[in-house]
Structure 1
Amino acid sequence: MESSSAAQSVVETWSAEATSLAGAFRVVARHHPDDIAVKDEENVLGYRELDDLSDRIAARLRARGAVDGQLVGVVIDRSVSTPAALLGVLKAGCAYVPLDPAYPESRLRHAVGDCALEIVVGDPKTVDQCGLGALRVVDPGAGHDGGAPPAGEIEADASAYVIYTSGSTGLPKGCVVSHGNVLALLRHTLPLFDVGPADRWTLFHSACFDFSVWELWGALLTGATAVCVPAETARAPEEFLDLLERERVTVLSQVPSAFRALCRMAGAAAPDLSLRYVVFGGESLDLDLVGEFVRHTAPRPPVMVNMYGITETTVHSTIRFLTGQDLDGKGTAPVGRPLPHVVISLRDRDMRPVPAGEAGEMYIAGEGVAKGYLNRPELTAERFLTLDTDDGPRRFYRTGDLGRETESGELEYLGRNDQQVKVRGFRIEPGEIETALRDHPTVRDAAVIAHDSAQGATLLACVVLRDGEPGRPAEAALRRHLATRLPAHMVPRRFAFLDDLPLTLSGKLDRNALLGLAGAGRNGRP
């Protein structure tokens, strides 16, 4: 898709003047002072107002002792206060660490200790309820009680935020991302979309999930409006669909697991939506799901965009604008081509490039590759590697994700290289079984896990049936269906029939919760 003049114009304006997110925002605010920047259920802030409020927060942070490069916690909510706080932290020359009150207190305390946080921005009552009252607290809604924030521009390699992701050791690890990482994403990606100041983006995801970086800064650095979605609304498809219609949202970002329920509701409600783009990321995307939503929103369906990326490479690394031909197919959507600022190399277990058409682990280089893991030098060295290329040595992030280059030169995502399971001596990729289950007409969604049982490692299929379909009687039909597509060792021994698949707070499939079902033996045979 060609670059759009609206996005290109705004991006070129701040690119010429700014090296930081805070600096880029100031440029946009100067050109769009009276346009709406962010809104929630009760409050609206224009660009000038958001600029002024974040300046006051930055000044209060400096008055409370914050210094350049310091990590500052932000206890987030789904209101205009959170974007103001994040921007205020950056204007103070600091990096923000989002802390979600919905997370367990032990996880919040781990982040506080790991980052050595001394200051937190947030509602004092909420901060105290999170068990963080011992920190110095800056209330984003309080008045101005200090001097002016620093006036100088922040360097591109300065840290912008630390987001915690799951760790293989059981402890989350903090990924450090720079201003330059985020600006590179926006500079090279936004002009691929026909977006501009007239658009309205949902701020759907928690700031603890990096999809929110794309949602918030994509809106603010094109002069658009970011619409905060309340947590309760995000979990209620009927209410969320109403919000999309009422707020005339034009740009929506979704993880496929969460989008399924919205798609089902759209089919029942026939809404009058203003959506122009739906951007997917975070998980494999089934083409039949996309096609179903396009049919529900005809005759003015949005452009459906599939993207792949991870926190360590700054949200997005590939893009594919799905075509009508794509939507006539089945299976999972291709993740497309690398974004202009990204290089992806497919390599084998010995880190050698694989021949064209063969599967390999994705290694990502370019301006999006993050600084590394906070206080984890050994893990950083293990995952962020300098490798030889035809153009000389380059720094790559080793993703652990498998991909294959198609004949058209695009990438096909094949799942995680560490999600393989071994059952009865066979190595099995659960995604292959999940795809086969979803191809059955009675199945809306499915997830497959391996768990320990008296018989050793056993496969459990967790299935969500379409409305009106029977529960347990479907098991025999699904077994027959799988037997026509998969070898016997890949047919799950147990089935659990659920109303919906459990999701994490960031909207991804909660495999730990599925393991809990396996242990409880819910709806499955022992």
Structure 2
Amino acid sequence: MTADEQRAHLDEAVSLSDLFRKVAAARGSAPALRDAGRTLSYRELDLLTDRLAARMIAEGVRPGDRVGLLLQRSAEIQISILAVMKAGAAYVPLDPSYPAERLRYLVRDAEIGLVVGDAEHVAAKGLTDVRVIAPRDDGAPTPPLPHIELDGGELAYVIYTSGSTGAPKGCMVTHTSVLELVRGVASVVDLTSEDRVAMFLPFIFDGSVLQFWLSIAAGGLAVVVPLPVAQSMPDFLELISRETVTLVIQVPTTLRALAHAHEEAGRPRLALRYILVGGESVELDVVSAFLERCPGTPPEVVNIYGPTEATCVATCRVLTREDFDGPVRSPIGTALPHLLVEVRDEAMEPVPDGEVGELVIAGSGVAVGYLGRPELTAERFVVLDTPDGPLRYYRTGDLARRFPDGSFEYLGRNDQQVKVRGIRVELGEVETFLRAHEMVRDAGATVVDTAAGAQFLVACVVLTDQAPEKPEKVLRQHMLASLPPFMVPDRYQFLPELPSTDSGKLDRRALRDLATPRRAPRP
């Protein structure tokens, strides 16, 4: 597939399933998806996903429905995503590691009637009110897949993020928004049909959307990263080398671990052409050292920034020596072509260049809103006046400043939302579940960073008089039963009372100071 064909397919596609069909027709027998010893060509992937989509429709799935995917890391995730879209529906990722209570909430909230997964596993999670379809084809005859016309305004997926009220919220994103995302990033990352993209990020996070559709749009090969490999950077490095992977997406924490593994392995030559890094503030020293020690031509490292509500990426910057030596600690670059990114004050008025304010984002990448949450949608997605008329913006809650050249510096959060190892977490939701335990009188949560660069979610807890001798173990079991593992505190600190401000609110800065371990003075 030539570069001109690639651009034409991406420009002409009106939906993600339309894009895939165009690429599959052009690529035919070329490899599309690899999972361990199994490689599917574009033609095979097209036929498999047609059959699964037809089975979904036979089970009652209709355009506009939401289909749950309860799947382990494997090619079945990408196969199921494509099939759901071919059926005209939207997929909802359901992580098998989630507690049963949380999975049941997601299924109810998203009004999911069909789940793709293993029937026994689905039942074991207590999802008894849904139909179940296996992702693997048993070879039985299936009805032909009817033609389903999409215009791009339909939902492609609903991804749930942490919610400050104790309940996760589903962010609704359309086909058009994802297509615009891929077009925008493709203007910076020049992939060809020879490229191989690692499916490293789990499908419950929006970065997985970018890594898969970048690969498809280029006509390249998507390489599935098994869970044990994703959890071991030496093993991931070996996979990157063995599969000659050319693009990976990482959060700074995992990139640091990857750089360390590369150093420990003797700095092997890699086929990497691009590393996209995002999710939290970039560690410029880590990136600089890694690039300096890469043999041969080092990859380009692109710092990407963007919330789920703006379809994963809003700004990006190819990092250079100027960035490594410069005064800006977290340069996130300029807006993608389809988006308008601005800095505004508390009254939502634009601020001059150089001043700090909240990042707001408008354009075709902005999500529809939160599923079933009109009040929260109205609070976070606001219509603001501009010289060109009213525009709908998403308020990110992120602080930044804009430079005269149109680029931005990321400066952290302005609310109770934090990033823990690149994953967005609402401290309010963690605190809600802590306080729900009968032995907890009050609780606050915070994130601390160690001198070595590690990051921990810490629960500061005021116990009742009836607390057991080992409350930490009890609380950890309580939290694991209610929340995904990434939202369960790594450490628990027990206090006689929580620090408060003069107005009586929780003093989060003082809480973080209390939770930060102190080094013992040298003798």
Scaled to the shorter chain, the TM-score interval is 0.7 to 0.9
Q: Percent identity?
A: 44
CA RMSD of aligned residues (A): 2.7
1:7/1:127 CA distance change after superposition, 3 Å: farther
CA contact (8 A) 1:20 1:153 kept: no
Do structure 1's residue 95 and structure 2's residue 93 form an aligned pair?
no
1:448/1:8 CA distance change after superposition, 3 Å: farther
Do structure 1's residue 105 and structure 2's residue 113 form an aligned pair?
no
- Aligned residue number for residue 134 of structure 2: 139
Instruction: For 2:63, give the aligned amino acid.
Output: D
- Aligned residue number for residue 152 of structure 2: 156
Distance (whole Å) between structure 2 residues aligned to residue 525 and residue 131 of structure 1: 46
- Aligned residue number for residue 222 of structure 1: 218
TM-score when scaled to structure 1? 0.81
CA contact (8 A) 1:369 1:396 kept: yes
**Aligned residue among 295, 303, 307 for 2:304:** 307
- Aligned residue number for residue 39 of structure 1: 34
CA contact (8 A) 1:252 1:279 kept: yes
Q: Which SS does the other structure have where 2:452 is aligned?
A: strand
Write the deviation string for residues 140-194 of structure 1: whole angstroms up to 9, x where unpaired: 1123543222313312110110000000112110001000110111122213222
1:524/1:126 CA distance change after superposition, 3 Å: farther
Q: CA deviation at 1:325?
A: 2.2
- Aligned residue number for residue 426 of structure 1: none
CA contact (8 A) 1:117 1:135 kept: yes
Distance (whole Å) between structure 2 residues aligned to residue 350 and residue 37 of structure 1: 49
Distance (whole Å) between structure 1 residues aligned to residue 183 and residue 146 of structure 2: 25
Do structure 1's residue 198 and structure 2's residue 194 form an aligned pair?
yes
Q: CA deviation at 1:382?
A: 0.8
- Aligned residue number for residue 232 of structure 1: 228
- Aligned residue number for residue 211 of structure 1: 207
- Aligned residue number for residue 444 of structure 1: 452
Instruction: For 2:352, give the aligned amino acid.
Output: P
TM-score when scaled to structure 2? 0.81
Q: CA deviation at 1:518?
A: 7.0
Do structure 1's residue 323 and structure 2's residue 320 form an aligned pair?
yes
Distance (whole Å) between structure 1 residues aligned to residue 64 and residue 31 of structure 2: 30
CA contact (8 A) 1:7 1:194 kept: no
Write the deviation string for residues 388-425 of structure 1: whole angstroms up to 9, x where unpaired: 0111111100110011012433100000001499xxxx
Instruction: For 2:386, give the aligned amino acid.
Output: T
Q: Which SS does the other structure have where 1:72 is aligned?
A: strand
Q: Which SS does the other structure have where 2:279 is aligned?
A: coil
Distance (whole Å) between structure 2 residues aligned to residue 447 and residue 7 of structure 1: 42
1:331/1:351 CA distance change after superposition, 3 Å: closer
Instruction: For 1:399, give the aligned amino acid.
Output: T
Distance (whole Å) between structure 2 residues aligned to residue 185 and residue 7 of structure 1: 18
Do structure 1's residue 412 and structure 2's residue 409 form an aligned pair?
yes
Distance (whole Å) between structure 2 residues aligned to residue 223 and residue 123 of structure 1: 30
- Aligned residue number for residue 477 of structure 2: none
Distance (whole Å) between structure 1 residues aligned to residue 111 and residue 92 of structure 2: 11
- Greater Cα offset, 145-154 or 222-231: 145-154
Distance (whole Å) between structure 2 residues aligned to residue 200 and residue 334 of structure 1: 27
1:522/1:168 CA distance change after superposition, 3 Å: closer
Q: Which SS does the other structure have where 2:492 is aligned?
A: helix
Q: Which SS does the other structure have where 1:444 is aligned?
A: coil
1:117/1:361 CA distance change after superposition, 3 Å: same
- Structure 1 gaps of 5+ residues are 422-429, 438-442, 455-503
- Greater Cα offset, 320-329 or 233-242: 320-329
CA contact (8 A) 1:241 1:265 kept: yes
CA contact (8 A) 2:461 2:494 kept: no
Matches within 5 A, 1:20-39: 20-39=15-34
**Aligned residue among 342, 346, 352 for 2:343:** 346
Distance (whole Å) between structure 1 residues aligned to residue 219 and residue 76 of structure 2: 18
- Aligned residue number for residue 122 of structure 2: 127
- Aligned residue number for residue 286 of structure 1: 283
Distance (whole Å) between structure 2 residues aligned to residue 48 and residue 237 of structure 1: 33
1:518/1:411 CA distance change after superposition, 3 Å: farther
- Structure 2 gaps of 5+ residues are 419-445, 463-479, 496-513
Q: CA deviation at 1:138?
A: 1.2
